Amino acid sequence: MVNIVWFQFDLRINDHLPLFDASSAGSIIPLFIYDEKIWEGNDRSNRHRKFLFESLVDLDNELKKYQISLYVKIGDPLKIFNELLSKYGKYSIYFHHETNINYHRLKVEKIKKWFQNNSIEFHEYQKNAVVAGLKSRNVWSQKWKEIINNEVVSQPKQITGDYLSDNQIIKLEEYFVKEGDFQKGGRSEGLKKLNEFLKSRSRTYQIDISKPQKSVYSSSRLSPYLSFGCLSLREINQKLEKRIIQLEDKFWRKSLNSFGNRLKWHCHFIQKLEDEPLIESKNLHSAYDKIRKPEDLNIDTFNSWKEGFTGFPMIDACMRSLIKTGWINFRMRALLMSFHSYNLFNHWKPAADYLATLFLDYEPGIHFSQCQMQSGTTGINTLRVYSPIKQSMDQDPSGEFIKKWVPELKDVSINDIHTPWLSQKKEKYINPIVDEKGSRKRALYEIAQIRKYNDFKKTSKKIYDKHGSRKNTQDQRRRQKEMKLPKSEQLTLF
């Protein structure tokens, strides 16, 4: 009986337990199915398809070292699995459990029922440290440690299988345009980035992480390789720990420890979508359904924000940079989302869908959780209202980043670069599309009214119990005992 390894968002042969087990059991078919409803959906774009193709070619090259090729099919997964049943008879299938958009989740559930109805043996494996069917968040942190510290699964010593003539991997080139200044896909490229980061670029990681210009170099840039599964979180974490031990430079070690802390947040946010699939489309806290409704979207201000023509130099520079490169740092992502949801007072969902098409490292679990968090709809997180003026002055004081991406301002002085509309020289730049201070006050007032509802805290407590991070500190335990939520009543300007 043949064993099928169904690759999805795990495009590697290292630390891949389904592949290891399947190849140990006998002959395999390494399969990737290009589901057009996934890869050409509203949350995907050309840059994702290009990165995917590069990653698949790289995976295929690795498999060819075993004298076997990656078998790529284009179409509906259920139909393709049925064709394989007709061709091979009964087979076993091995794959990772993926946490993805609702369409993917429902599709996989339907496929698994089809497997059962057709007596096909399937083996579904946990991916990274996201736990399917998690009973309590109280045990998640310990589970994360156990999983991440487990030994990395070695690549198989031997893989056997037949060459399949109807492979469609080359046909995938028809599904994207070869353009754009984006990171190249594939495990080989991911390993290069990882080694560069650990050996040199990471020293200033902590102090440069929020600076839009410097973070291009000092950040790990590993996120797309994690999103597509070219690298596993476990192998990154274990290489990181080895590097920290090697270093005597305390400043450098501090930076790498800071990066290590953020690796845990990766699975923390994906776990939210795993436990609550509706995070993709609905407010986590239902009280916010009363304001900023999707149908009330201001198309004019939304389009100005989308294109990077808001009149706020830092907002516009971030958006234009993102459109061109597919990446900006976390602080600037939060700034873009905050401006859209607070200053423009639009519902978070249209912005989330648009940004998903731009972020090369788009990971649904992280993305939708963060978009809600930065829009203040979770009911359990601090309301961080990022000031586009303050962030501009703090993170790009010389205007280097702004001048690179907003060439209209290249000759503007440092004194005027952050607020050109206030310049005595009447700079030739569009005026702000919204009053920053007034719009912020309005947003905070509206949200404050929502938080006054009698059942707001009760609902927030339920959300925290299900999704909140657990920090084993005396203060955290005190707050839990008093049934108060961490920082839930704070309104903070950044």
Query: Contacts for 60-65 with beta carbons within 8 Å, 24 or more apart?
Result: 60/169, 62/12, 62/13, 62/187, 63/13, 63/30, 63/159
Mean pLDDT of 41-49: 96
427 pLDDT more than 90? no
Q: How far is CA 463 from the centre of its chain?
A: 21
Give the side-chain half-sphere CA count within 13 A for 89. 2
Mean pLDDT of 303-312: 98
Longest dimension (CA), the chain: 78
pLDDT tens digits, 331-373? 999 999 999 999 999 999 999 999 999 999 999 999 999 999 9
- The pLDDT assigned to 318 comes to 98
- The pLDDT assigned to 493 comes to 52
| Angle at 230 (CA atoms; ends 229, 233), nearest 5 degrees | 60
pLDDT tens digits, 154-169? 999 999 997 787 898 9
Nearest to 226 by CA among 257, 271, 178, 193: 193
Structure tokens at 364: 């649904």
Query: At 176, is the pLDDT very low, low, confident or very high (cuts 50, 70, 90)?
Result: confident
Q: How close are the terminal C-alpha atoms of the chain, in Å?
A: 60
- The pLDDT assigned to 483 comes to 31
2 Rama class: left (phi>0) / alpha (psi -120 to 50) / beta: beta
Residues 6+ apart with CB under 8 A from 247: 253, 256
pLDDT tens digits, 63-93? 999 999 999 999 999 999 999 999 999 999 9
- The pLDDT assigned to 55 comes to 98
Mean pLDDT of 296-324: 97
Residues 6+ apart with CB under 8 A from 368: 273, 279, 280, 352
Structure tokens at 30: 């390494």
